[in-house]
Amino acid sequence: MFTAMMTVLAAALLATQTEQDFVRAIQANPRDPKAHGEYAIFLQQQGRTVEAVAHFRSALDLDPKSPLAPFNLALALLGAERPADALAVLDKHPARTGDWHALRGAVLNTLGRQPEAIADLRRAVAIDPSNPDTLYDLVITLLRTEANAEAAKYLDQGRVRFAKVGKIHAAAGALAYATGKNEQAARAYETAVKLEPAAADFHASLGDVYDATGDLAKAEAAYRRSLALDGSVAAVHVKLGKNQLKRQHAADAEAAFRNALGFDPSDAEAHFQTGKIEAARGDHAAAIGHWEKAVTTNPALKEAWYQLSLSYRRSGQAEKAARAAEEFKKLP
Name all domains of the chain by residue range, CATH numbers in brackets: 1-93 (1.25.40.10), 246-332 (1.25.40.10)
Q: What is the pLDDT of residue 263?
A: 97
DSSP 189-214: HHHHHHH-TT-HHHHHHHHHHHHHHT
Q: Which residues contact 61 (CB under 8 A, 6 or more apart)?
A: none
Quick one: average pLDDT of 234-242? Answer: 98
Q: What is the pLDDT of residue 3?
A: 41
pLDDT tens column, 286-316: 999 999 999 999 999 999 999 999 999 999 9
Quick one: average pLDDT of 17-31? Answer: 93
Indicate whether 264 pLDDT > 50.
yes
CA distances from 63 to 30, 35, 69, 299 (A): 13, 12, 8, 47
pLDDT tens column, 127-143: 999 999 999 999 999 99
Give the pLDDT band of residue 16 (cuts 50, 70, 90): low
Residue 179 burial by CB count (10 A; 0-12/13-18/19+): exposed, middle or buried?
middle
Mean pLDDT of the chain: 94
Give the pLDDT band of residue 45 (cuts 50, 70, 90): confident
Indicate whether 7 pLDDT > 50.
no
Q: How far apart are the first and last CA of the chain?
A: 37
Q: What is the pLDDT of residue 17?
A: 81
Quick one: average pLDDT of 248-257? Answer: 97
Alpha-helical segments (H) within 247-283: 250-263, 268-280
CA distances from 251 to 244, 275, 312 (A): 9, 14, 25
Q: Which of 17-21, 48-52, 139-143, 199-203 has the lowest mean pLDDT?
A: 17-21
Q: Kindly report the pTM of this predicted structure.
A: 0.84
Q: What is the pLDDT of residue 15?
A: 57
Percent of the chain whose pLDDT exceeds 90: 92
Cα(208)–Cα(210) distance, integer angstroms: 6
Give the pLDDT band of residue 4 (cuts 50, 70, 90): very low
Quick one: average pLDDT of 98-120? Answer: 97
Q: What is the pLDDT of residue 33?
A: 95
